[in-house]
Amino acid sequence: MKRMYQIYKTCMKANIASAITYRVNFILNSLIMLIGNVLFPLVTVFIYNSNASFEGWTFKEALLIQSVFILSTACAGIFFNGIMWNTMSHVVEGTLEVVLIKPTSSLFLLLARSFEFESIGLLGGGVVMFVYALSGIDGMTIGSWFLFLLLFGAGLLVMFGVALIVAAISFKWVANSRLPEMFESIKSFGRYPGTIFPKAVVAVSSFLFPVSMIAYFPASTLIGRWEAYFFIAIIPCALFAAFGIWLYTYMLRSYKSAGG
Amino acid sequence: MFEKIKHRFRVMRAVAFVTYKEWSAYRTHSMVSIFVGPVYFLVQYYIWSAVYSGESSINGMSLSQMLSYFCATMLINYLTMDFADWNLQMLIRTGKFITFSLRPMNHMFYALSQKAGHRVLGLLFEFIPCFMIFFFIFHIDVLPANLLYAMLSIAMAFMMNFFIHYSIGMVAFWMVQSSSIRNFFSLCEGIFSGSLIPLVFFPKSLQLASFFLPFQYTTFLPAMVYTGSYTLADITLPIPQVLLLQLVAVIIAGIVCRVLYAVSLKHFTGVGA
């Protein structure tokens, strides 16, 4: 365990050092991510400015869902989303052997190398928006915060599962840089209040491809609108992540190289 | 003069054809849009259906106009999509750009020809299938209000997108890592092009500013021409005038891009390829 911690720390340091090599680029990128994500809910802002709304949701409640989505995306970006691009690049260039021969778990090593400091800007943008949206939410308790953290963690499991599934597919569907886009499009169902979608879509996004857990469910607990099925949906989230790990490990074992 | 144009056309056709063949090997990249486009549209459909519940019109647009608008922006994007900036900065950073000084054609024209070939692929594997899905499955009115006007506007959007992206790519002649500038530009493009939300939802001052920014000419304006009416900042223009406005914007962008190209070439130093 201590050895794994050391490896992870070394990879983190290497990523930070590499990010700050081009300081101006890094700072600008982080700032752009921050601004870009503060502007991300522009559609919601303009909808509410036009005297329209998502029925039953105040502006700040709708914004809270989107800020939680950004926070989740930021955490995924920092800790594990990079595995998609790293795996794709290793498979295309035939350099995965370099990872496979290392005397540690290949999945762990690839995850450690996926640490992406640049997404810190995204996290900053998410926090700013989250705090702003919270200013319009009343009646939060320690219990609702606890439930929020529990569901937020489950949402991260979904993000983790998605990252691993995309990375695993890239072993077979080589060099398709648009692969993540397919999953991104499905994730966009989790950015908005679930009440605007028909029941069938809510069922799919809760239990089959549980993207509602990324933002809608956690944010709803803070607002005090949680329902029992939110917690049942934690099970498919855990299964989703487990499936991602199994699929990635399976594809890793069946990987055949043409040399790098 | 005529011979020169004919020769250039032949060169463009040859480069476009080779690019088409090259990218055909990765046609599944384009075919991802057949899944992604309709899924994003479904999300938009539910969002706007919820927003319009009890409202017949918001900012002068009805729900059906809004849905047609989003379909039009997606379809137009498949025909005009551009990544000349990424390509150019990669060539400059790796030093491969130096090989273009040995070729009997400038890189800008070469990149434009490549884009033409690449977008033919977009037409076959993105535009046509998504058009069918929107029209036959979602029953959205995606037929252009006037085919000729729509084609002219899309052709100009194609050029506009190229000039903007190529100009941004030229930043790499001055900066080793230009991804931040490109990201900043993508951010502005995402907001001001109208692909997120129609520009009529913006505050009046930003709507007015959009006339002087290059972004609306790539998405919002052609989408409005496609759907048959154009209003921005309370200014309603007949479509021929809108096309004229777009033409002026494209000419200005073209001149700026050409001047930047000439200046950039003087600045370029190759370090091997």
* DSSP result, A45-78: HHHHHTT---TT--HHHHHHHHHHHHHHHHHHHH
User: What are the tokens at A112?
Assistant: 């450690």
What is the structure's pLDDT at B15? 94
User: What are the tokens at B91?
Assistant: 């060539």
**A68-71: long-range pairs with CB below 8 Å, 24+:** A68/A130, A68/A152, A68/A155, A68/A214, A68/A215, A68/A218, A68/A219, A69/A190, A69/A191, A69/A214, A69/A215, A70/A37, A70/A40, A70/A122, A70/A125, A70/A126, A70/A129, A70/A130, A71/A123, A71/A126, A71/A127, A71/A130, A71/A152
Q: Report DSSP state, residue B20.
A: H
Of B112, B104, B91, B251, nearest to B169 by C-alpha is B91
**Band of residue B271 on the pLDDT scale cut at 50, 70, 90:** low
Chain A contact set for B28 (CB, 8 A)? 173, 176
Signed CA dihedral, B149, B150, B151, B154: sign only: positive
What is the structure's pLDDT at A258? 64
- Once rounded to an integer, what is the mean pLDDT over residues A168-176? 84
Q: What percent of chain B has pLDDT over 70?
A: 98
- Once rounded to an integer, what is the mean pLDDT over residues B109-114? 95
Could you read off the pLDDT of A142-157 as tens digits, one per residue?
999 999 999 999 999 9
What is the structure's pLDDT at B36? 94
Residue B112 has pLDDT above 70, yes or no: yes
User: What are the tokens at B127?
Assistant: 């535009």
Of B148, B8, B162, nearest to B85 by C-alpha is B162
- In this complex, the residue of A35, A176, A186 whose CB is nearest that of residue B187 is A35
A101 CB contacts (<8 Å, ≥6 apart)? none
The answer to whether B26 faces chain A, any CB pair under 8 Å, is yes
Chain B contact set for A177 (CB, 8 A)? 29
What is the structure's pLDDT at A12? 87
Could you read off the pLDDT of B176-197 as tens digits, one per residue?
777 778 878 888 888 899 988 9
Of A183, A177, A206, A167, nearest to B39 by C-alpha is A183
- Once rounded to an integer, what is the mean pLDDT over residues A111-130? 87
User: What are the tokens at A65?
Assistant: 């869902």
Residue B261 has pLDDT above 90, yes or no: yes
* Residue B235: strand pairing partners: B232
- Once rounded to an integer, what is the mean pLDDT over residues B197-210? 93
First to last CA, chain B: 35
The answer to whether B43 faces chain A, any CB pair under 8 Å, is yes
Q: Show the CA angle centred on residue A213, arms to residues A249 and A204, nearest 5°.
A: 85
> Helix, strand, coil proportions of chain B in percent (round to 5)?
75, 5, 20
**Band of residue B222 on the pLDDT scale cut at 50, 70, 90:** very high
Report the gap between the CA of A242 and the closest CA in chain B (Å).
25
Rounded Cα distance between B267 and A156, Å, is 47
Q: Which amino acid is at B43?
A: V
Report the gap between the CA of A5 and the closest CA in chain B (Å).
32
Mutate one of B28, B34, B39, B200 to test the A interface: name it (highest A CB count within 10 A): B39
Chain B contact set for A26 (CB, 8 A)? 180
Rounded Cα distance between B229 and B238, Å, is 7
User: What are the tokens at B156?
Assistant: 């100009």
Chain A contact set for B55 (CB, 8 A)? 52
Report the gap between the CA of A196 and the closest CA in chain B (Å).
6
CB B32 to CB A181 under 8 A?
Answer: yes
User: What are the tokens at B57?
Assistant: 């019109």
CB B36 to CB A36 under 8 A?
Answer: no
What is the structure's pLDDT at B190? 85
CB A47 to CB B51 under 8 A?
Answer: yes
Q: Which amino acid is at A196?
A: I
Element (DSSP H or E) covering residue B237: strand B235-237
- In this complex, the residue of B29, B47, B49 whose CB is nearest that of residue A176 is B29
Could you read off the pLDDT of B36-63 as tens digits, one per residue?
999 999 999 999 999 998 788 888 899 9
The answer to whether B35 faces chain A, any CB pair under 8 Å, is yes
* pLDDT, chain A, mean: 89
Q: Which amino acid is at B31?
A: M
**Band of residue B273 on the pLDDT scale cut at 50, 70, 90:** low
- In this complex, the residue of A35, A50, A179 whose CB is nearest that of residue B201 is A50
Which chain A residues have any C-beta within 8 angstroms of a chain B C-beta? 22, 24-26, 28-29, 32-33, 35-36, 39, 42-43, 46-47, 49-50, 52-55, 173, 175-179, 181-182, 184-186, 188-189, 192, 195-198, 201
Residue A38 has pLDDT above 70, yes or no: no
- In this complex, the residue of A28, A178, A184 whose CB is nearest that of residue B184 is A28
Q: Report DSSP state, residue A259.
A: -
What is the structure's pLDDT at B210? 95
Residue A14 has pLDDT above 90, yes or no: no
> How is chain B split into domains, by residue range?
2-267
User: What are the tokens at B37?
Assistant: 């486009």
Of B105, B81, B255, B100, nearest to B173 by C-alpha is B100
Rounded Cα distance between B27 and A36, Å, is 31
- In this complex, the residue of B26, B50, B196 whose CB is nearest that of residue A55 is B50
Q: Report DSSP state, residue A204.
A: I
Residue B229 has pLDDT above 60, yes or no: yes
* Residue B259: strand pairing partners: none
What is the structure's pLDDT at A35? 75
What is the structure's pLDDT at A117? 84
The answer to whether B184 faces chain A, any CB pair under 8 Å, is yes
Could you read off the pLDDT of A234-251 as tens digits, one per residue?
999 999 999 999 999 999
What is the structure's pLDDT at A259? 59
CA distances from A253 to A100, A105, A224, A260, B85 (A): 10, 12, 45, 18, 38
**Band of residue A79 on the pLDDT scale cut at 50, 70, 90:** very high
Size of interface A-B (CB pairs under 8 A): 91
- In this complex, the residue of A25, A184, A201 whose CB is nearest that of residue B179 is A25
Q: Report DSSP state, residue B61.
A: B
What is the structure's pLDDT at A32? 77
B76 vs A119 pLDDT, higher one: B76
Could you read off the pLDDT of B124-170 as tens digits, one per residue?
999 999 999 999 999 998 999 999 999 999 999 999 999 999 999 99
Residue B110 has pLDDT above 80, yes or no: yes
CB B176 to CB A43 under 8 A?
Answer: no
Closest CA in chain B for residue A186: B39
Q: Report DSSP state, residue B58.
A: B
Residue A24 has pLDDT above 80, yes or no: no
The answer to whether B47 faces chain A, any CB pair under 8 Å, is yes
Q: Could you tell me the maximum CA-CA distance found in chain A, to the nearest angstrom?
A: 60
The answer for B 52-91 residues in CB contact with A (under 8 A) is 52-53, 55, 58-59
Report the gap between the CA of A30 and the closest CA in chain B (Å).
9
Q: What percent of chain A has pLDDT over 90?
A: 50
Rounded Cα distance between A156 and A160, Å, is 6
Report the gap between the CA of A18 and the closest CA in chain B (Å).
13
CB A177 to CB B191 under 8 A?
Answer: no
